[in-house]
Amino acid sequence: MNKTTRVMPAHKHIALVAHDNYKPELLRWVKENKDALQGHFLYATGTTGRILSKETGLAIKSLLSGPMGGDQQLGALISEGKIDMMIFFWDPLNAVPHDPDVKALLRIATVWNVPVAMNRASAKFMISAPQMAEEVSIEIPDYDAYLADRV
């Protein structure tokens, strides 16, 4: 597929997601990075969003709970170019009933070249990167060209 670019703004749109066993870990990370996150637009799946907002006071757009469609809502936002990066503390040791939705979310993030941190170390690198406060161009699939070729 042909590629084009999209510009991530200096004020990023950041998705925050955590499986049940990792919600406390994500909360701790958000508290530690509250100042850095404050200048960005934050989104989260249902329960995670409510916990983070209540405990930190950050403005967070809460979607549905992951198993109820929140993962798919995030995937739609990614495919629309409305999410710039995702912090997803997932549980690699416990199966979740909505595992196909989780895999679909990670797949769509990869398709649209969205940076994804899946643990504290990668989240620390992402939030500390100088690009967090800058406009950044990324390559994405040229969907318009793809459609034009198919019609």
Global pTM value? 0.94
- Tell me if 65 sits within 8 A of 47, measured CB to CB: yes
pLDDT higher than threshold 90 for residue 96:
no
- Tell me if 73 sits within 8 A of 5, measured CB to CB: no
Nearest to 19 by CA among 86, 98, 78, 135: 98
In the annotation, is 71 catalytic? yes
How would you classify the pairing of strands 41-44 and 60-62? parallel
- Tell me if 142 sits within 8 A of 111, measured CB to CB: no
Q: For residue range 60-91, list pLDDT tens digits in order.
A: 999 999 888 999 999 999 999 999 999 999 88
Indicate which residue of 20, 71, 144, 149 is catalytic: 71
